[in-house]
Amino acid sequence: MGVSKVLADLRPRRASSVDPPVSPVVGILAFEAAAAMSRLVSLHRSLADNEVRRLRADMRSAGVGYLTSKDQTFLLRLSCGEVISELDMAAATVSRLGPKCRDPLLHGFDRIYADLKAGSGSVKVFLRESRSAADLDRLSLGSTAKRVEKRVKKMERYVAATSTLYAEMEVLSQLEASKKRIELLQQQHWRRHSGPIPVPKPPGVPPPSGVPPPPNPIHLELRAQRHAIRRLKEESLWNKTYDKAVELMVRAVVTVFARICHVFGPCVLGLPPSRHQIHQFNLNHPGKHTSGPLDRQVVPKHVPSLRNSAPILSVASNDALKLTPFERLSKLLKEAPPNTVGGSGLALRHANLILAAERLYQERQQMAPEVEEQEVDKNAAAAAREELFQMMPSGMRAAVTAKLRECWRREGRKSSGDASMAEGWKEAVAAILVWLGPVAHDTVRWQEERNMERERRFYTRPRVLLLQTLHFADVEKTEAAIVEVLVGLSCMSWYI
């Protein structure tokens, strides 16, 4: 009786002592989650009203219209395909982190995202089967503009703190490596001396003189660095639970996809109808004044391809009909034929060549007339032109040489100091660089944003799209424009 009574008294104590299960934190995967968050924030900013207006202006610019295409529908398909591709990469990260959550709704995000791209009705069916209609609000399918903007600000703070944590952890690893290197050098120094190695005194024992030894600077730096990292882990995604981080990203994915449908839906075939979706789920873009969708005349679904001013992409009709709308957008984005600058692999090289010519032209503009007459400066300009000449591909180099010979044969009898001829070439070069320079700048920026993933993985500002670059530009037209600029720069120097 006594033993059973003691066991009975212990049962409630044992049950009360068991703590509830602790939700797992993101930990080392915080950097992957922050990269996905930064991509989502960047997409959200890229689809803002002012960025949509800038995209409209770039599509109608002289550089894009002459080099790539004047077909607005084709350009919209390119931009929509790239935005959807960026969103797919962020959604893939969310799908990988979803199974680590405790919430069953977040476990099935891959299915939610697939149903979202197929149409909004299947999302409601899935939510009705899985949980309840209250989860609609949790997925941002009813959020106001203020709530959406508040979540975006929170994601920006998490990304900034995680980016700082990443940099401070690299500094900590360097400090630890320095400490090990110093200890190794000390051990090697002791081994060179004959005799016994002095035994270090235990900590807390003062030296014979009574003066405490000075602290090691590397130890102080390590202590301060570890304290800063502990603080940053609390502020960043490191100590946040999977449910909190993933739910925040799921809401952002749904909001960004709804904005894509609102902006590109009337222009790109295959996107869910944005008006019905916004009316059904009250998906509002966070802005007081919306620029609205990019309108166009609706093209019938049976049309497989669109005419462009430049011969860029042509997809076989049989293959195009077998693919889903999003697969066609992805294929349109990835396939750049050899007659384009990106397809020939010369986008970055041509962009750097244009920027070098632009710098040479600006330096020539900034030089005073009395400075231009000096022989030293003429030699420096000739060296810069020679370096520019060596940057060109062999075919373009031959075209520039032939063009220069023709100009010298036609105008070589005139005086080398003819100011009117120099001014004419200067105006011609400036007219070309006005529309060719921005495309080259955007090409370099696009390469930096996509290829320098280690440095820009937490980049939250709006990014450049491919249609704003030289990627889909016609290679013959691009090289002809560059040749005209280089010939003009040479003739400017000749007639000055």
**CA dist., res. 379 & res. 317, Å (int):** 58
For residues 15 and 363, the model is more confident at 363
Q: What is the pLDDT of residue 21?
A: 60
**CA dist., res. 428 & res. 447, Å (int):** 29
294: its two tokens? 């990019």
256: its two tokens? 């960004």
Tens-place pLDDT, residues 372-398:
444 445 666 667 777 787 888 888 888
Query: Does the structure show a pLDDT above 50 at 306?
Result: no
**CA dist., res. 73 & res. 243, Å (int):** 40
Q: What is the pLDDT of residue 203?
A: 55
443: its two tokens? 């090409």
Confidence of residue 444 (pLDDT cuts 50, 70, 90): very high
Which residues are within 8 A (CB) of 366 and not within 5 positions of it... i.e. 6 or more apart? none
Q: Which amino acid does the sequence have at 243?
A: D
Across 93-97, 139-143, 358-362, 398-402, least confident range? 139-143
Per-residue three-class SS string for 371-390: HHCCHHHHHHHHHHHHHHHH
Tens-place pLDDT, residues 313-355:
444 445 554 566 677 777 777 777 888 998 888 899 999 999 9
Distances (CA, A) of 466 to 79, 159, 404, 410, 444: 7, 25, 33, 40, 11
Average pLDDT, rounded, for the chain: 76
278: its two tokens? 């916004």
**CA dist., res. 415 & res. 289, Å (int):** 60
> Do residues 367 and 376 touch, judged by C-beta distance below 8 A?
no
The structure's pTM equals: 0.77
**CA dist., res. 108 & res. 130, Å (int):** 9
419: its two tokens? 């100011």
Query: Does the structure show a pLDDT above 70 at 469?
Result: yes
Please list the residues that pair with 25 across neighbouring strands. 241
